[in-house]
Amino acid sequence: MARESAKVNVVCQHCDRVYAFAPEAVTTACRCHHCGCLLFVGRPLSLGVLQLQHHIRQSGIPMLAVFWSPAERACQRVTKELTRLAGSIEPRMRLVEMNLKAAPALATQMGIRVLPTIVLFQHGRELARASGKLTLRALDEWTAGVAA
Ligand SMILES: [Zn+2]
């Protein structure tokens, strides 16, 4: 599919600048040249709605977005485990968490009816989604399956 010479875009979560890396150069040590921060931080990114759209469009790395709400009990276990998940999937994927209580319009926009819902994006497109109670182990297996 992708040619070996193809670059992979990585978006900085702080300043939203986009960097193109050779695939083998994408590591957790990559930094943003503008703000100096690490591009992979070992925890889920918390993005604003516009920022999310930018990252979905620009990121060459598959992005796993978890849509949740603190009002939903089913979300509590999953969100607790997200940090561990981020550590295990970076840098081949990045993890984003979207609190729908803070951005209620996003649920309609994304067609989300059950929380938590986890959506995998790449190159601006939705590749897969899963909803409901998910354990870290189930998530690990799911991400391994959809990214294979
Ligand atoms: Zn930056």
For 125-136, the pLDDT digits (tens) are 998 888 876 666
Whole-structure pTM value: 0.86
Task: List residues, by chain if needed, whose CB lies under 5 Å from ion ligand 1.
Answer: 12, 14-15, 32, 34-35
Distance 57 CA to ligand 1 centre (A): 17
- Closest among 6, 104, 109 to 56, alpha carbons compared: 109
How far, in Å, is the centroid of ligand 1 from the Cα of 38?
Answer: 8
- Rounded to the nearest angstrom, the distance between the alpha carbon of 40 and the centre of ligand 1 is 11
Q: What is the pLDDT, as a whole number, of residue 3?
A: 52
Q: What is the pLDDT of residues 49-64, one digit of tens each?
A: 999 999 999 999 999 9
Q: How many CB atoms lie within 10 A of CB 57?
A: 14
Q: How far is the CA of 126 from the centre of ligand 1 (A)?
A: 25
The CATH number of 42-55+62-147, from 1.10.3720.10, 3.40.30.10, 3.40.50.261, 3.90.1010.10, is: 3.40.30.10
What would the pLDDT profile of 8-31 be if each residue is shown by its tens digit? 999 999 999 999 999 999 999 999
